[in-house]
Amino acid sequence: MLQIVKADGLAEQEALTAIRNRTAETGARIQAAAAEIMDSVRKNGFQAVEAYALQFDGAAPREIAAEEWEAAVSRCPKELYHALERAVSNIRDYQTRLLQKTQTWNSPDGGLVGCLVRGLTRVGIYVPGGRAAYPSSVLMNAVPAKVAGVKEIIMVTPPTEHFSDAVLTAAKLAGVDRVFAVGGVQAVAGLTYGAGILPKVDKLVGPGNAYVAAAKRIAYGDLDIDMVAGPSEVLVIADANANPKYVAADLLSQAEHDVMASAILLTDSASLAQAVTEEIAQQMAYLPRREIIAASLRDFGVAIVCQSLEEAAHLANEIAPEHLEVLTEAPEELLPLLHNAGAIFLGAYSPEPLGDYMAGPDHVLPTSGTARFFSPLSVESFLKRTSLISYDKPSLAKVKDSILTLAQAEGLSAHANAIAVRFD
């Protein structure tokens, strides 16, 4: 169950060691297998994609026909359809407010400078198959791309006997243009290099297994990627006034993702920590994924009793969690102290699933401490910027001598000449 540790400068660090060492890195064997498939597709194209698809999934790659897609949408339960619509609306509104525009202005020298902002041409979205279906992830990857002005969105997902109606409906509502039944490293390779029916994309986003993660690492440079995400994680800062039922439920909501998921409670109240562990035991009893939860909490769950909320905030910044909840009497007061987190949820009625599904900010977030330097997926992730410079002769004349001085200092005489010839 959830271990309780009293912070003393050492005990909490020891408790966090397993979580810090919990790795999203792919092993050498997986990396080598992914590299072999990527190289084969790069050399042999669609023939290799098809061979691997038949080998691993027992089905040749194919594009989902419009009729099949529309039939899936028509089967989607009305309540689910409307929930997806509402989520799309909220995500679109949030991302539209973040959208940067092309702008130009006059430099101090009188020339025109600026930045051209354009959406990428073609983006790929990887959607995992198997037992779980995550239509919310389709929305979180596709809607920001659409808002950015991406011209074509390609979705790939492993072939199954019956594709998820919810996933295909989410794809339709989010503006996905084409869907292909192909998964694994071969799908990543096909979108990276272009192979037969699979077009080459500029960026690939979306979660996958360890092999897909390894393939994305290899693909980076030939295309852009979102991130190589690790297991899910939540950190809750709570004081004595927090409702232990809420805290327990929020920790459990992440622990159910995966046996590698982490759930951390930081509190200044030993009594709350104890009450939360008791609540976890009670709530787990009726949760279908309780075996996964138990393993996650056993290996990567901890409640740390800090001397103050300020100490808790300092430790949270060190951990840099994917999701950070603040369940204190005055959560806004702690916000200035919190610098490293993928997403921050303030107050008892802002639980993490609100961000997963409906609030609007993206749920594709940095994990494994990378929130120290990475940002969430957003509309900005699908934009490219091109610098713009336009000087006339009088404007160039104002800076001519300074450019010549700098070029000569660097020994680049041709650079200097490209300026000087315009004033001969």
How many CA atoms, within 13 angstroms, populate the side-chain half-sphere of residue 105? 3
Which neighbouring-strand residues pair with 236? Answer: 265, 325
CA distances for 31 relative to 45, 50, 363, angstroms: 20, 21, 27
416: left (phi over 0), alpha (psi -120 to 50) or beta: alpha
Which position among 257, 323, 325, 352 bears the catalytic label?
323
In 3D space, the residue among 316, 311, 309 whose CA is nearest the CA of residue 334 turns out to be: 309
**Which helix (H) or strand (E) element contains residue 218?**
helix 210-219
Q: Can 323 be counted among the known catalytic residues?
A: yes
- Go through the chain and tell me how many residues it has: 424
Fill in the amino acid letter for 406.
L
223 close to 203: Cβ distance less than 8 angstroms: yes
Side by side, the strands of the sheet bearing 122-126 are 62-63, 178-181, 152-157, 122-126, 203-205, 224-225
In sequence order, the 6+-apart residues with CB closer than 8 A to the CB of 189 are 37, 38, 40, 41, 42, 48, 49, 195, 215, 219
**Cα 227 from Cα 206, distance rounded (Å):** 9
Q: Which residue has the tokens 């027992």?
A: 58
Which position among 233, 279, 322, 325 bears the catalytic label?
322
55: left (phi over 0), alpha (psi -120 to 50) or beta: alpha
210 close to 24: Cβ distance less than 8 angstroms: no
DSSP summary character for residue 120:
-
**Cα 201 from Cα 7, distance rounded (Å):** 48
| String of DSSP letters for 225-288 | ES----S-EEEEEE-TTS-HHHHHHHHHHHHTT-TT-EEEEEES-HHHHHHHHHHHHHHHTT-T
Q: How many CB atoms sit inside 10 A of residue 50's CB?
A: 21
Fill in the amino acid letter for 395.
S
> Residue 223 has which token pair?
């295309």
Residues identified as active-site: 322-323
